[in-house]
């Protein structure tokens, strides 16, 4: 995705693919909203507020994909030293931060009627906040280091370390018996067999929403990478023009 030569135009077919992805994201998101509001119906015990769950889990999946991509980008950067993998990592951190912020905010709107509080120091709520802070620290690290080569290298290293907080968030509800956060799928202390006991409509809506957020994350990351590349091109142009004067 990096611009190889200095003044080469952005490849036409890539722009087409991105436009198609954008359209797909919009259509998918609209469709999943329709499913959420019209198809799935209020949940038996939780009522209308349960509808936010599809966005909640979807955005968490988005942040999980993005933060995993940060590790992949970091490892590849450290092996190849190609700056485009650093741009890829940066884009994924920013999109992951937005996605997990959505997870936290939707979780709070759900918690107020269900738990009668916006916030509680439950293990999972705590760990997802730690995760968000770890990636906010990634941005601080980038801002603090001036040498570009060193900034890329340190960012790759920290992006890999910070993934510990993502694993922590996923594992913690499985091993801590004292969480009140619901676990929808997979084994827990209370239910080691890991049942996935929902109606067909809920399952369909959930999987559709997860798919939507996956596509959305990929699209947003692509836009962010493109923006960064454009930014660098402008910078190079500026230097060229100044050199000609």
Partner 1 sequence: MTVNPTGPTKKPAASADSQTVQRRPLTPYMRAVGAVAWKDLRAELRSREMITSMVLFTVMTVMVFSLALELDAEARKSTVVGVLWVTVVFAGTLGLSRSLAAEKDRGSLDALLLAPVERSALFFGKVIGNLIFVLLVALVLMVLLTVLFNITLIEPLLVLIVILGTVGFTTVGTLLSSMSVHARARETLLPILLMPVMMPVLISAVRASSAILDDLPSSEWIAELRMLAVVDVVFLLGAYLLFGFVVEE
**Closer by beta carbon to partner 1, 48 or else 149:** 149
**Residue 71: left if φ>0, alpha if ψ -120 to 50, beta else—which one?**
alpha
Among 14, 16, 112, 150, binds partner 1 (CB under 8 A): 150
Report how far residue 89's alpha carbon sits from residue 136's, in angstroms, rounded to the nearest whole number.
13
**Closer by beta carbon to partner 1, 14 or else 81:** 81
181 φ, ψ (degrees, to nearest 5): -70, 130
Report how far residue 28's alpha carbon sits from residue 212's, in angstroms, rounded to the nearest whole number.
6
**Closer by beta carbon to partner 1, 174 or else 233:** 174
Among 55, 70, 102, 131, binds partner 1 (CB under 8 A): 131
Residue ranges of alpha helices (H) inside 116-147 are 123-144
Within 29-48, the residues that bind partner 1 by CB under 8 A are: none
Please tell me whether residue 147 binds partner 1 under the rule CB under 8 A. Answer: yes
Closest CA relative to residue 121, chosen from 174, 82, 176: 176
Among 52, 98, 145, 198, binds partner 1 (CB under 8 A): 145
Instruction: Determine the 3-state secondary structure of 62 from DSSP.
Output: helix
Nearest approach, Cβ of residue 183 and partner 1 (Å): 17
Please tell me whether residue 146 binds partner 1 under the rule CB under 8 A. Answer: yes
Report how far residue 73's alpha carbon sits from residue 159's, in angstroms, rounded to the nearest whole number.
9
Q: Choose one: 7-15, 62-70, 137-145, 215-223; the region binding partner 1 (CB under 8 A).
A: 137-145
Rounded to 5°, angle at Cα 106 from 102 and 110: 170
Q: Binding string to partner 1 for residues 177 to 216, with x set by CB under 8 A, is what?
A: ----------------------------------------
Report how far residue 211's alpha carbon sits from residue 29's, in angstroms, rounded to the nearest whole number.
10
Among 20, 26, 34, 164, binds partner 1 (CB under 8 A): 164
**Rg from Cα positions in the chain:** 21
User: Which residues 6+ apart lie within 8 Å of 134 measured at CB?
Assistant: 162, 165
Please tell me whether residue 130 binds partner 1 under the rule CB under 8 A. Answer: yes
Within 56-115, the residues that bind partner 1 by CB under 8 A are: 78
Please tell me whether residue 12 binds partner 1 under the rule CB under 8 A. Answer: no
Q: Which residues bind partner 1 (CB under 8 A)?
A: 78, 123, 126-127, 130-131, 133-134, 137, 140-141, 144-147, 150, 153-154, 156-158, 160-162, 164-165, 168, 175
């Amino acid at each position: 995705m990096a611009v190889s030569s200095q003044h080469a135009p952005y490849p036409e077919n890539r722009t087409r693919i991105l436009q198609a992805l954008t359209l797909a994201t919009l259509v998918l998101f609209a469709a999943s909203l329709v499913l959420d509001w019209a198809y799935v119906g209020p949940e038996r015990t939780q009522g209308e507020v349960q509808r936010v769950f599809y966005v909640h889990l979807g955005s968490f999946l988005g942040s999980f994909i993005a933060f995993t991509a940060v590790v992949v980008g970091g490892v590849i950067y450290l092996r190849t030293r190609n700056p485009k993998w650093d741009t890829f990592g940066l884009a994924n951190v920013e999109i992951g931060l937005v996605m997990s912020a959505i997870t936290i905010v939707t979780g709070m709107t759900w918690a107020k009627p269900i738990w009668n509080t916006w916030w509680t120091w439950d293990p999972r709520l705590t760990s997802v906040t730690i995760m968000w802070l770890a990636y906010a620290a990634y941005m601080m690290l980038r801002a603090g280091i001036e040498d570009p080569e060193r900034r890329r290298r340190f960012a790759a290293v920290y992006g890999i370390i910070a993934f510990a907080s993502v694993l922590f968030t996923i594992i913690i509800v499985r091993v801590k018996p004292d969480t009140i956060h619901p676990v929808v799928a997979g084994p827990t202390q209370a239910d080691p067999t890991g049942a996935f006991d929902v109606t067909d409509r809920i399952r369909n809506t959930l999987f559709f929403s997860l798919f939507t957020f996956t596509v959305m994350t990929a699209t947003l990351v692509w836009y962010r990478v493109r923006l960064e590349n454009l930014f660098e091109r402008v910078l190079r142009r500026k230097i060229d023009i100044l050199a000609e004067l």
